[in-house]
A = this chain, B = another copy of it.
């Protein structure tokens, strides 16, 4: 039995972050696809609720950690992997640099990503009866305002290299790449964010990131025929 099992959805950007971390650490793991759209959302079915009552992905099981071995919330599970498998590190050595990296990661994970979550978009549609155009404008607004703020930070920060911190991927790159992937999926113009695009495209080209890309996952929906 493999030690780790990841409950994942190919398009979930939080799952995408977790997959990159596992790949960077060189950890072999079992993937269980939980489709967030099929069956009204497989994450809400009793079968998955029995594993993770919270009904969200990703969730990581560490079979060596016993009953306590279910870890939810992508940033918590990435920090867990980083503490348990310290090489290569996903956070810098100095506390002040760790704070910088965590701050960028959290700016994406708290300020940009949650507001555009599937369940939020559903609520807008079902309760406020917004049009598709209004929903798209909402989506674009939170990406654009969040990216503008991130771009302003990273464009001038001397800590930035080919990655968010120097030239080695950290927790911040693990959050940035899926968020840029989401933006492209929804056809958000990215011309105003050259630093973010440069960093994300560099990281995305690294093997650990490329192998985590949504379309390459075993649970990916088949491509729509042309």
Contacts and interface: CB of A to CB of B under 8 A. Distances in A.
A48 interface: no
Contacts of A72: 103, 107
A155 to B, nearest CB: 10
A71 B101 CA distance: 10
A62 B141 contact: no
User: Which 9 A-B residue pairs are closest in the complex by CB-CB distance?
Assistant: A76-B102, A80-B99, A73-B106, A76-B103, A73-B103, A83-B95, A114-B114, A71-B99, A65-B96
Contacts of A97: 68
Nearest to A69: B96
Given A53-B153, A76-B99, A123 B138 contact: yes
Please state the number of chain copies in the assembly. 2
Interface residues of A, number: 50
B102 A79 contact: yes
Given A128-B130, A130-B128, A153-B54, A96 B80 contact: yes
A2 interface: no
A115 interface: yes
A76 B92 CA distance: 13
